[in-house]
Amino acid sequence: MAYLELENVSIGFGPPTSRTEVLQNINLSVAENEFVAVIGFSGSGKSTLMSLLSGLQKPDVGEVRLQGQRITSPGPHLGMMFQNYSLLPWLSVYGNIELAVKQVFRKFSKKQLKEHVDRYIEMVSLTPASWKKPHELSGGMRQRVSLARTLAMQPEVLVLDEPLSALDALTRAVLQDEIIRIWEEDKRTVVMITNDVDEALLMADRIVPLTMGPKATLADDFPVTLERPRDRATLNINPEFKKLKMDVTNFMIGMNKEAKELRVDTNVKMPDIKPTHFHAA
């Protein structure tokens, strides 16, 4: 039995008269301690999929299960990191993380609490900004706070919605390693959205593409069998990596084309005319 499971899930928004079906017939099963990356085009319904997984939304049809139990409500064991960070603007970096940690680790002493929070702030290199309010931070810093908050809760399942999209390459690499380390050491299960195929290949066990919306569904997955630990430096010349990258990219491009062809062709054919003669300069 799969650890985390979506079965025949469909969801749509809006009233019956103007309804958009976002996801249709989604089937996904994630094994315990598996790292799954979801890729898909913007607006296809990735974030919607994540909110289903974290229990924030209920599917119209089908079931979402964790260890065979239907997920009925969100909770800290399903550590959701929101795409728009969702930081509380009246709390500092420290305060935001502290609120989550306090709620999850109720038995912590004051000292333990502080140590725990500081450790995660340190992890995302925000120690100098601990007392800043979110509006005083850059976009990337906010994203790091949000990530730190999710990681600090130490959830069984990490549901990460584009956790590193706003970061520069260097910071991004550090945090990728950090997520992988946590996943490996603490035996977590991770479902992560990313728009970066390299990142997916570097981190995930499996890449699941989401087809173009509306009525998006999951396409056949790409298992990533590259040996761990994966080294960023040598990965680029690894033939298996290259092949996988090509496959995934081609699949996505093909899907994009397909979607375009499905639409009514709006391109007006231009008459094929050529200048007949030029004036000599």
Partner 1 sequence: MKYKILKALDVAGLQFLDPIVRLIYGEEPKVQLSKIGRFIVIPILAFIAFLGIWGYVAPKHATKSGEVPTPGVVANAADGIWTFHKRENIKSRDYLLAGDRKETSLTEAQDRLASITKAEKAASSKVAEAQSALSAEIASLQAPHKKELAELKAFNKTASNSRKDSLSELAESVSENSSSEREAYLDALRDHNSLSALEKENEKKISAKIDEIAGMKYQPLIDARFALKLVAEEKQFLQKRVEYLSKNNRSEKVAEYEAKLGEYEATLASSSGKELEKTGARILRQEERIERVSDSSYAQPWTFPRQIKRSLMCVFFGFILASMIAIPIGILCGLSSVFMAAMTPFIALFKPVSPIVWLPIALIVVGGFIPDPDKHWFIDSINSLPIIGSYDLNPAFIASAITVALCSLWPTLVNTALGVASIDKDHINVARVLRLGFWSRLFKIVIPSALPLIFAGLRISLGVGWMVLIAAELLSSSEGIGKFVWDMFNNGSSDSFAQMFVVVFVVGLIGMILDRTMIVFQRLVSFDEAPTSI
Judged by the rule CB under 6 A, the positions of this chain that interact with ligand ATP are: 13-14, 22, 40, 42-48, 83, 213
Residue given tokens 């995302």 in the structure block: 124
> What's the token pair of residue 22?
């976002």
Instruction: Name the helix (H) or strand (E) containing 197.
Output: helix 197-203
Shortest distance, CB of residue 43 to ligand ATP, whole angstroms?
5
In the three-class reduction of DSSP (H, G, I as helix; E, B as strand; rest coil), residue 114 is classed as helix
Closest contact distance (angstroms) between CB of 47 and Mg ion is: 3
- Asked if 76 contacts 156 with a C-beta cutoff of 8 angstroms, the reply is no
Compute the CA torsion angle 70, 73, 77, 80 (nearest 10 deg). Answer: 110
- Closer residue to partner 1 (CB): 90 or 131: 90
Binding flag, residue 263, partner 1 (CB under 8 A): no
Is 222 within 8 Å of 246 (Cβ atoms)? no
24, 44, 47, 143: residue in contact with Mg ion (rule CB under 5 A): 47
154 contacts 103 by C-beta, under 8 angstroms: no
Q: Does 74 bind partner 1 (CB under 8 A)?
A: yes
Q: Of 79-108, which residues contact partner 1 (CB under 8 A)? A: 79-80, 82, 84, 86, 88-91, 99-100, 103-104
Cβ closer to Mg ion: 47 or 54?
Answer: 47
83 vs 150, which CB is nearer to Mg ion? 83
Radius of gyration of the chain (CA): 22
Q: Which residues lie near partner 1 (CB under 8 A)? A: 54, 56, 73-76, 78-80, 82, 84, 86, 88-91, 99-100, 103-104, 133, 135
